[in-house]
């Protein structure tokens, strides 16, 4: 097996594990299975696309919990990365998050790191992960 094929199969395995973790976390948080979760990857970039039913996340009086949904989804990239690292030893660095609760769509971006970052770099990544920026009707977190 060539080095490129080994890297590709490793990235595919990380993507599938991240997908499984996202499904489990979404089910734990919402009580429902997502409509779909897709994985897209290229080189060290990994995208997870989550489709969910927004009507399952409304209150009794059909009140939207969009701010609560956004806040809850903010924690998911770090939780996914942590679960993947614990299970495989590989580090996924959470990137941007885009949520559109009205459309039932969330996109999670990650970078797969070959080596664990230094403590200083890890602190910088953590600080960047908590820096929100807002765009249109979707929430994007710059990491």
Q: Write down the pLDDT at residue 44.
A: 86
Instruction: Print the SS3 string covering 8-63.
Output: HHHHHHHHHHHHHHHHHHHHHHHCCCCCEEEEEEECCEEEEEEECCHHHHECCCCC
Among the ranges given (4-13, 107-116, 128-137), the one the predictor scored with the smallest mean pLDDT: 128-137
* Inter-residue contact 68 to 115 (CB < 8 Å): no
What percentage of the chain exceeds 90 in pLDDT? 41
Q: Tokens for 76?
A: 């998911």
Establish how many alpha carbons lie within 13 A of residue 85's alpha carbon, considering only the half-sphere containing its beta carbon: 18
Q: Tokens for 54?
A: 């927004």
- From CA 71, how far away is CA 92, in angstroms rounded? 21
Share in percent of the chain as helix, strand, coil (round to 5): 45, 30, 20
pLDDT tens digits, 95-124? 999 998 889 999 999 998 754 555 555 555
Q: Where are the domains of the chain?
A: 3-142
Among the ranges given (2-6, 29-33, 95-99, 105-109), the one the predictor scored with the smallest mean pLDDT: 2-6
């Amino acid at each position: 097996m060539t080095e490129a094929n080994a890297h590709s199969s490793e990235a595919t395995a990380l993507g599938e594990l991240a997908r499984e973790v996202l499904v489990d976390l979404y089910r734990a948080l919402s009580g429902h299975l997502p409509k779909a979760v897709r994985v897209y990857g290229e080189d060290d970039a990994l995208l997870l696309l989550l489709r969910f039913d927004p009507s399952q996340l409304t209150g009794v009086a059909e009140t939207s919990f969009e701010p609560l949904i956004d806040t809850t989804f903010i924690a998911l990239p770090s939780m996914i990365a942590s679960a993947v690292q614990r299970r495989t030893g590989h580090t996924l660095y959470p990137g941007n998050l885009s949520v559109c609760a009205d459309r039932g769509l969330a996109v999670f971006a990650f970078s797969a790191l070959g080596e664990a970052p230094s403590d200083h770099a890890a602190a910088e990544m953590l600080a960047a992960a908590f820096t929100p920026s807002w765009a249109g009707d979707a929430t994007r977190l710059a990491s």
